[in-house]
Structure 1
C-alpha cells in the first residue's frame, strides 16, 4: 500500500471506530501531541477527546469520510475531505457534515493524526 492509500485507510478506519465507539482504535490513531480546533476556537487534546467520549452518551448511526485529497510532505500528510455523521449525543439528534483538514505523521510504524479542524457545511 502506498502512503496516500495508507492515510486514506487510516481516515476511513477512524470513521469506523467512531461508528463503533471503539476508543482503543481512536486512541491508537491519535498521536500523543494531537490537538483539535473546535468551533469557536477552543483547543482539545487527545486526553480531552477520549475523556469526552468516555463520559458522553453518544450513539452514531452513520460516520463516513469522502472527497479526500491527500498531500504528502515526507512523513507528514495533509488531508482535506468531507466528514458526515448522524446520531445522538446526550439525547440530542445530530446530522452533521463538515469540510475538514487533518494532519497525519508517520510515527511508531503507523499513521497518526496530530491535528484536526472542521467547518460545518451544507449536506449537498
Structure 2
C-alpha cells in the first residue's frame, strides 16, 4: 500500500511538473521584450504609435528632401495618388521630391487616426498634412490635405504600400 501511494505521488508530481513546464514554455514573452511596433505580437497601441512616428518621419523627409527615409518607409511596390489624381510609384515619388523647386518651411502630419487589422500586420492611418513654403515663383503657400495610407509589416519593418491625399479647401 505504501509502495502504491509512493508511485501515485511520483506520477502526480510528474504530471504537475509537466503541466507547469508546458505552461511556462508556451507563454509568450512579456510585452516589454517584444520590438515595439515591429512584430505581430506588438500591442495595438504600440503599432499605432509606430505608424504615427513613421508619418512624422515622412513629413520630415519631405521637409528635408531626405530620400533615405522614403527608401526605408515606402515599400518597393508603393503607389500614391495625389489630390490632382496623378499616380506615382516609389521611384517617381522620390525623383519628384528631389527635383521639386518648392521651398518648404514646414511640413507636418497631424490628427492621425490609426486602425490596425490583420492580427497586427496591416495598419491604416488617416490624418491631416500641412505644408507651408514658397512655390517655384517665390509665391507663399499654406496647404492642407487629408491623407489615407496603408501600411504593412514586411520583414519586421512597417512600410507604406499605398496612399491617397485630398486637398482640404481653405476656410472662408
The TM-score normalised by the length of structure 2 is 0.66
What is the number of equivalent residue pairs in this alignment?
A: 124
CA distance in 2 between partners of 1:67 and 1:118 (Å): 14
> More strand per residue: 1 or 2?
1
Among candidates 57, 64, 73, match of residue 117 of structure 2? 73
In the other structure, the counterpart of 1:88 is 134
| 8 A contact 1:56–1:89 mirrored in 2 | no
Larger Rg: 2
Change (3 A) 1:4 1:94: same
Deviation at 1:16, TM superposition (A): 1.3
Q: Is the CA contact (8 Å cut-off) linking 1:65 and 1:82 kept in structure 2?
A: yes
Can you give the 5+ residue segments of structure 2 that lack an aligned partner in the other structure? Answer: 1-35, 37-45
Q: Higher helix proportion, which one?
A: 2
Displacement of 1:88: 2.6
Residue ranges of structure 1 left out of the alignment (5+ in a row): none
Distance (Å, rounded) in 2 between the aligned partners of 1:61 and 1:94: 10
**Which structure exhibits the higher relative contact order, with contacts defined as CA atoms closer than 8 Å and separated by 6 or more residues?**
1
